[in-house]
Amino acid sequence: MALIEWKKDETVAILTMTGGENRHNPDFTAAILQAFDEIEADPAITSVVIASNDAKNWSQGIDLAWITGAFNEKRFQDIKDFLNSLNAMFKRILLYPMPVIAAINGHAFGDGSIMACCCDYRFMKSGRGFFCFPEVDISIPFLPGMQAIITKAFPYYKVQEAAFSGKRYGADELAAHHVIEKACDDEETLLKEAVAFARTYQKKRPIFGEMKKRFHKNIIAAIENEDPKYIESLKIMM
């Protein structure tokens, strides 16, 4: 079964994660990078919505079973390769030459939340699903690039609370602090609102991509220049 599927809705590509909790592992990053390449190859598409077909989860972040197993089996190069592919996914979203909108229908935890922060805009369903950075509770510190990504999406006065407390946020609170564009009543409304918003963008890719490149240059610098030393030494778990 495919982990990622996508379809074209007029000028919008709806990319759907189909892996249940949509945990990040090597197969997931390869599948989503391939989907973004396929979407970009269609010149008629001007925006992307990232959704999930799971009723409870948008993305629960890193596949802890996979990465713990790899550590126990001393497959350290596999872990490094995966972390680099994870950063490649983050960079792809950050620099994608068209708007990327997250339609968060359920839980977004850890790396799932970071992926949502990479997106240009976020919509979220009210009533079910939390947005959380649990790294402080599972003893996995953020890479510098991850910290920069979070600060892009969260107002600075909420960053420390989100990162240091591991607090779980609902859609209404995130909307009040402008982390998301809108809290939606149900899943149908969520996708409808996200796609309608995506359709408002009909920008030319070269200028949109260049503006994202300039806006996010500090994040990209952190990913490219600071993260490698932590990845190479595998200082990602306490």
Residue 205 in any domain: the answer is no
Residues of the chain with pLDDT under 70: 1, 236-238
3-state DSSP assignment of residue 109: strand
In contact, 198 and 98? CB cutoff 8 Å: no
pLDDT for the residue 127: 85
The residue range of the domain holding 102 is: 4-199
Specify the DSSP class assigned to residue 110: T
Residue 101 in any domain: the answer is yes
> What is the pTM for the complete model shown?
0.95
The count of domains in the chain is 1
Residue 208 in any domain: the answer is no
Residue 228 in any domain: the answer is no
- Please give the mean pLDDT across all residues of the chain: 95
Residue 36 in any domain: the answer is yes
Residue 143 in any domain: the answer is yes
Q: Each residue of 101-152: pLDDT tens digit?
A: 999 999 999 999 999 999 999 999 998 899 999 999 988 899 999 999 999 9
Residue 226 in any domain: the answer is no
In contact, 159 and 169? CB cutoff 8 Å: no
Question: If you search the block for the tokens 């946020």, which residue do you land on?
Answer: 169
Residue 72 in any domain: the answer is yes
CATH classification of the domain holding 24: 3.90.226.10
pLDDT for the residue 234: 85
CA–CA dist 230, 236 (Å, integer): 7
